[in-house]
Chains A and B, each alone.
Chain A
Amino acid sequence: DAKTTQPTSMDCAEGRAANLPCNHSTISGNEYVYWYRQIHSQGPQYIIHGLKNNETNEMASLIITEDRKSSTLILPHATLRDTAVYYCIVRAAGGGADGLTFGKGTHLIIQP
């Protein structure tokens, strides 16, 4: 699976949009981009995933650049409960047998 690079930490004001970047310049054509987050003392939680097109669900939006070498997770109206470590993971379509490879992630802190 391709390696990802994320900032170590970010701050965002409550109520504003939180934009979390991820670089995955070695991504292969069949690899998806996944985002998970881990709130303190809880298990990781799936947020969203995408292959080429931008995706949106009730939690977030995922913007993938045309060359697929980077992506941005957007939390449109961040709340204090969104404070967590956010993990960007790239994973082959048939790579389920290997589990998820978590990096260090981005510690997002939502400020009141």
Chain B
Amino acid sequence: DTAVSQTPKYLVTQMGNDKSIKCEQNLGHDTMYWYKQDSKKFLKIMFSYNNKELIINETVPNRFSPKSPDKAHLNLHINSLELGDSAVYFCASSQAVGGANEQFFGPGTRLTVL
């Protein structure tokens, strides 16, 4: 069974569109994250949620809106897509905020904005 899953794996869309990426974890973890990996391969934290509540928002434009319907899901909705949003987006989860807790990453969603 996949621990952290994301859908879709690939997403190609036009500028200005609105799209969502879904993430689910079956590990029973309390905390979930979204990371962005750009074309230069830098991996950066975007958001983290603990028990459905937003903990951090790393200066991400408000066009990006994470939504956590329950502890096992953290979806990422992006409005008015721009060319610079093209990247690979990774979801991750961990047992709890803080402590020496490793994060488990999903396979990534490659977003291409044309």
Contact = CB atoms under 8 A, between A and B. Distances in A.
Contact of B45 (A38, A49, A85, A101): A101
Nearest to B6: A43
B5 to A, nearest CB: 11
Interface residues of A, number: 23
B100 A32 contact: yes
B11 interface: no
B56 A99 contact: yes
B98 A44 contact: no
Residue with the highest number of chain A CB atoms closer than 10 Å, among B43, B96, B106? B43
Interface in B33-81: 33, 35, 41-45, 48, 50, 55-56, 58
Given A96-B31, A99-B33, A102-B42, A43 B107 contact: yes
Given A32-B100, A49-B100, A51-B100, A97 B108 contact: no
B103 to A, nearest CB: 6
A95 interface: yes
A47 to B, nearest CB: 9
B97 interface: yes
Interface string B17-43: 000000000000001010100000111
B71 to A, nearest CB: 15
A43 B102 contact: no
Contacts of A43: 4, 90, 92, 105-108
Interface in B87-114: 90, 92, 94, 96-108
A46 B42 contact: no
Given A94-B98, A99-B56, A102-B42, 5 more contacts: A44-B105, A93-B100, A97-B50, A97-B55, A102-B43
Interface of A: 32, 34, 38, 41-46, 49, 51, 85, 93-102, 104
